[in-house]
Structure 1
Amino acid sequence: MALDLGKRLLEAARNGEDDEIRVLMQNGAPFTTDWLGTSPLHLAAQYGHFSTVKVLLQAGISRDARTKVDRTPLHMAAADGHAPIVDLLIKVSDDYKCGGFSRLRVSVHINNGYHLWPLQNGANVNARDMLEMTALHWATEHSHHDVVHLLIKSGADVSSHNKFGKTPIDIALDKNNHELLVTMQVRAVGHTAFHRDIIRLPPPPVT
């Protein structure tokens, strides 16, 4: 029964069905994962369901959950260009959990209702997956400019190397992405002398 509820919770998260998620959680649905280690939060983040992400976070699901390839919900949201979700994940913390249960679930038992707790400090912006890719690597790879700007503003490391020795700056160079190169070079100044000294921005593409 619990396993079935967990599978239904995964599907509801994938589809952004907030009310269904609340009902399933009230009925004791566990925060399970699929065979790839993908949690409800990963799915909601990947498919751009902002309100669903918020509901799950407020229920106490871990924002730092990892798939079998070490991807976090932040990786998913960044790779697919969901800037509002990236922003939400960065700002959220686990301090609204208590006693092994989320305060949301405790309030269900006490008050038979939901109390939404404030979202505070957030996910590790420089978390790496199995390929040593950060959220910034993925956002740059897919040219999601708004996500890149948000991640850099939140302290993402523009000089972090992935498994193939590539930094987000290198990826932007490979793609001849002038706007992102400018943003990253400004960030790199004072942090990585190597990139500060060798980067030469290509001219903007002719339109």
Structure 2
Amino acid sequence: MDRLVKADVNGIELAFIRGQKISKTFTLTNLMHTMSVAVSLSTKNPSFFSFNKPFSIIPPLSSSSYTLLSQPSNQPPLTDPPDAITVKTSMVPLGKANHDDLCRRFSKPGPHIFKDATLPITFLGPQVIEHLISGNTTISDIDLCLNNAISGCSGNQLTVLLKSAAVSGKTYLVRTLIDNGGDVNHKDSNGRSLISLAVEAGYLDVVNVLISSGCEIDNSIDHVFHYAAAINSVDLMDVLFRAYENTDLIESVDFHGRTPIHISAIHGHTQVIRFCLSVGASPDVLDINKCTPLHLAAKGGHLDTVECLLDASNYTKYALNKEGRTPFALAFGNDCSNVYDSLQLSDALNRAARVGDVNGIKSCIGKGANVNGKDQNGWRPLHRAAFKGKLESVRTLLGYGSEVNVVDDNGYTPLHCALEAGHVEVALLLIGHGAYAKFEESQRYRDEGWFEIRWL
């Protein structure tokens, strides 16, 4: 004999609702024509599940209904493997037995006990998926649990869950919810796309899934490059740029008139700025306060970012914002002394070197100016002083550690500059401090009274 009773279901499906009792009724039918059958019902989690009739007797060819009851819970009691109702049976020749007799009968295994059915317990509904999104479960068969839960959800519920999965970085859940009807082009209350939400949260894999699933963005609302810039993610920038192939997006402005470069400048995210520049974005855009990205980087004291922006644009150093202030003025107002040299002191030092203002040189260096700082042509203060023949300026700069053999963007050293301008004393001073250069013998130098020499 295969079994004594038959269940009317293959499993028990419970629509889980947080904080509420759950119940499900099923029927067992006695298959015996002349013999009553005793039934015992149990689960692995008796503290959560109970039955209205844990023990009963079913007369021949009769049926009996049973109700599985659950305790209220804040989360579905997912187990690994999933819980199930175990249906055990035993023949009752006399057709009668009291509760204690049945307890004793099923308390010990033996040939008189049959295991007629195992009815898996599954949980349905959005709150089960919310639990999976939260990550507070270690069950191994996520597929089974998720598919069961999805069967109890409406399309709108799947879409809401899709948003939660996207902002939580649950890539697999995002893909599954989309495959089962979640709307990939759902907008939040501010009109932002799921891609915006995933980018802002920094989940690259989720963004890739959304893009491949056809998620669309609205350029006027979805400032995806701004979000990527704010979290310093070049990887997200690259994925977005390749996906939408639109240079205008990377130069789009937000509600403050700021481009992604502005946002990066605020946070000092230099690598993001370099990426934006590499794909054609401009470093010179003004926001609604007429601030360039350099203004914002200077205000924050982000030295690497300041220097990157100075390399990208020479004139922005002198740009005035709405209040008529330069980047240096903003840095000074916020006591960001680490960027003074890049923004202004280097200019003052070059000017002092050029005019022979020794006190000015000392003052600038004392305030933190870089004695070897270069201008837009790669000239250092020593180049300036040598070219103008300012002997004391050269001497002072050398005394403060100027590199005597430093070269500009064209490969010229300060010695080249001195010779080109005909300043013999300066040239000799530089040579005395180790200057060298490679010159071919020149008729010009001989004609002008120079000593013949080849510096190697």
* Same fold? TM cut 0.5: yes
Other-structure match for 2:21:
4
User: Cα distance, 1:189 vs. partner?
Assistant: 2.4
User: Cα distance, 1:156 vs. partner?
Assistant: 1.7
- Work out which of the residue numbers 127, 131, 141 in structure 1 matches 2:200: 141
Contact 2:193 2:222 in 1 (8 A): no
Other-structure match for 1:60:
152
- Work out which of the residue numbers 230, 235, 243 in structure 2 matches 1:174: 230
d(CA) in 1 for partners of 2:196, 2:134 = 16
Once the two structures are superposed, what CA deviation does each residue of 1:23-46 show, in whole Å capped at 9, x if it has no partner? Answer: 265xxxx84xxxxxx733333234
Other-structure match for 1:189:
245
What amino acid sits opposite 2:157 in the alignment? A
Other-structure match for 1:74:
162
d(CA) in 2 for partners of 1:178, 1:73 = 28
Q: How do 1:27-66 and structure 2 match up within 5 A? A: 31=125, 39-47=127-135, 50-51=142-143, 52-57=145-150, 59-65=151-157
**TM norm structure 1:** 0.57
Asked whether 1:126 is paired with 2:185, we answer yes
d(CA) in 1 for partners of 2:121, 2:166 = 29
Higher radius of gyration, 1 or 2: 2
Contact 1:172 1:180 in 2 (8 A): yes
- Work out which of the residue numbers 82, 85, 98 in structure 2 matches 1:19: 82
Q: How do 1:97-108 and structure 2 match up within 5 A? A: none
User: Cα distance, 1:72 vs. partner?
Assistant: 1.0
d(CA) in 2 for partners of 1:184, 1:171 = 11
d(CA) in 2 for partners of 1:157, 1:48 = 31
What amino acid sits opposite 1:60 in the alignment? G
d(CA) in 1 for partners of 2:80, 2:225 = 38
Unaligned runs of 5+ in 1: 32-37, 93-121
d(CA) in 1 for partners of 2:243, 2:237 = 10
Deviates more, 1:181-190 or 1:39-48: 39-48
Aligned positions, number = 154
Q: Structure 1 residues 167 and 138 mapped into 2: Cα distance closer, same or farther (>3 Å)?
A: same
> Greater relative contact order: 1 or 2 (C-alpha under 8 angstroms, separation 6 or more)?
1
Higher helix share: 1
Contact 2:193 2:217 in 1 (8 A): no
User: Cα distance, 1:86 vs. partner?
Assistant: 0.9
Higher strand share: 2
Unaligned runs of 5+ in 2: 1-14, 24-70, 85-119, 253-259, 262-271, 276-303, 305-456
Contact 2:83 2:121 in 1 (8 A): yes
Secondary structure at the counterpart of residue 156 of structure 1? coil
User: Cα distance, 1:157 vs. partner?
Assistant: 2.2
Which stretches of structure 1, 4 residues or more, deviate above 4 A after TM superposition? 6-10, 15-18, 196-201
